Structure 1
Amino acid sequence: MLVAAAALLLGGGGLAAVATTALAGDAAPEAADGHQRHSAVVAATLSCPDVGERLREVPRSAQLQVSKGLAALDRQVHDAYHAMMGGTDSGTLLPRLRQQRDRTIGTIVTAIAKDAERPEYLTTLSGCTTKPGQPGQPAQQARNRGQGRPGGPSPADFVDITTVRPNADAPPFAAPQGRDATTGTFTTECGRNEEGHFNSDNVIVTPGVRNGAHHTHDYVGNTSTDGFSTDRSLAASGTTCRNGDQSTYYWPVLRRLDQNAERKPGAALDGNIGSVLTPATVTLTFRGSQAGTVQAMPRFLRVITGDAKAFTNGTQNANASWSCTGFEDRQLKDRYPLCPNGSQVVRTFAFQNCWDGRGTDSANHRAHVAFSDRNGNCPDTFRRIPQLVERVTYDVPPGTGFAVDSFPEQLRKPVTDHGDFINVMPDALMNTAVNCINTGRRCR
């Protein structure tokens, strides 16, 4: 039995898009790769302004209220998206969603205004629209071809890596080089999450909230990290890292797209269906700069690379990098790689390498750090710090049978891949890392 949900796409002449999903218990045809082929196509999703990205100041007194407000906004989009997929007309859904967001944004504004300038600009961010699930592809055409899976991804999200031209000729994919470059590295070995440390929290963006990410994270390093972690609890925790590094390293899980549908937050309840794949390898390397020596990161520095909502936010903060072993001179930003036999899928997360020298975080969790230019130069007043580069490899099934976890309305698009890092290295270990980098040594 099939249920068709029609949603009016705003703009572009008012194209009517149809999203067709198979109900639980329906049989799906089996593909040549041995996986069940979904007959569904998600032709539309919701696009809402990202309030968290636009925050300029959040006083300490308002942090928990703002965090809960941001989580509420995500839940509202989650519920509206699923209502749209269930058949609710966008003419009914969008005004209702706007009213909900108006109220929640109002609570955020009020909380901030108690001890800071009133952020009136946030009140313009309540309206949402619908967005094509596969840009450039008419919904009816996609439906007729039987493409896509409930919640994504689409076959158009994959590309044969052997057809991609080499494009990775600059750091972090090429080592820092030149007269002034610091060429040393410091590698911390923290395992592959063999311990099974998973949760769907988002301790950097929505601390104090359960299921703040609406997708499941893989963790290595600090063994206690969840949505309620604090600097104190992280510093008191154990670690999976061999050298005593207590830092938190995490990223969305990659799943095999089988019929495993765990009824829990971050998994099937948020549209992320499939069995979690354990990485084959995880390499965490801190590198130097094209422009000269780096200085120590402050303890508890929080850094996010990439954007979990890049499909609807746009690519300003997107930083996904997908490739295959043997082909890492070819990096993909908005496509999953189809790798040759014997080649593994590679995810690379390159983190910001400039710090403002002041705080360990900022209101939008981005403004306190930045990327250098191609020559290693940081923005004015920013300081060079070691660049963390995470490389994670996977053995995946042949074909298009894998996807990264995402917020449900992000349709598991590869462009939404992202990594998170909280530096909890003891100061002595961080100083060792900096010394190795600045003196050109390779240390572990």
Structure 2
Amino acid sequence: MNKRCFLFLQGVATPFFDRLASSIRASGLDTCRVVFCGGDAQYHSSGESICYRGSIEDLPSFYEDLFKRLGVTDLVLFGDTRPVHIPAIELAANLENVETHVYEEGYLRPDWITLDSGGANANSALLPTSPIYYRNSAQEVPRGVQSKKTGYSQSVRLLQDVYYNSGRVFDERNYPHYSRHRLHSPIQEYLGWVRRAPIKPLLSQYAKFVTKRLLKRNIPFYVYPLQLDSDSQIRVHSPYSKGLSKATDDIIKSFANHAPKKSVLIIKNHPLDTGINKHKQYVKKVSKDYDVSNRVLFFDGGHLPTMLHNTAGTVLINSTVGMSSLFHKSPTIALGTAIYDIPGLTFQGRLDCFWRSNKIPNKKLFKDFRDVVIDHTQINGSFYSKRGIEMAIAGSLKRFGIPPEPETEQEPPSFSEQPIEAT
């Protein structure tokens, strides 16, 4: 049997892939990293690597030659919809004895990452599925697995991103054909975050205050959590490939025409939104157009678990917030393709009918679903902290069938999903 060879493509903007590859080599297996830009080079310190400076059009032949020359058995990447990844995934799917390992942010949050086979999200091996599949499969997996804290820090994540993009910008001449997969430049994103940073704590406190007032007054409210416009879940796996504006328009219009007249719609901004797309202004305009300005609230912060625990329903496209919504027994509808969008968990009818349906997720089915998803696709860890990376590497090696490195001492389970009681 030939020695396994792991080919690494683009990862997250952290040292995770570099350290994972080092651990694989320490076990006696081969690795190779393809570097597509200066940012990738920033997070590659050792092991064989190849700098690709060609065009997207030439990638299929490049991969075909590389797979043959290295004897690739395992393809490893983060994000299966990136243009530089698609030709490699397609090639691997047509080759025998080549497995594709796709990393993504966790389907469950916090303290989980995704390691799926063949594809992630709407391309996951879990789709298409049915309640019967999860009920049967749950009998063969560990039950009730809880996560342990990973030490995630958003400020550390931002610094890692800056380090990555500084390498990409300063070494741009060496990779003339590389095109970033995100919609806006790093400078635009960073300036947006800097502008919003001073007022975010105040906005979050305001959102918490208003949430408590709604609960005290027993005013029913629905929650629509925004995703990022650059999210491939929106661009590739939903009817809203051009952005969130059309989705927001559809949801507010349906709410205005079909939701109970005394109810409120909370539109919660994504925590990493830069403000470039001016979602708040658009929500204000559309709410005025449909004469529901006094019933639509825009939150920039707040405590999401409390909202989900008490909401009359959650409307989303295909955000992973859907998993938390189901955890909190909130009636949920997904307007895009999502692994959790199955009968018994989410509302399967039209959006106009959702507002008065009160379709609560089946508790036992959700437990079965959660246990299977964790066993098949989730690893307790993080891409962004030292502790989390160590945990993620140990879980990845186990999933790859490689003897794990010695485990580090870890903290008790995190209970950050618990709601805050209204007072």
TM-score normalised over the length of structure 1:
0.27
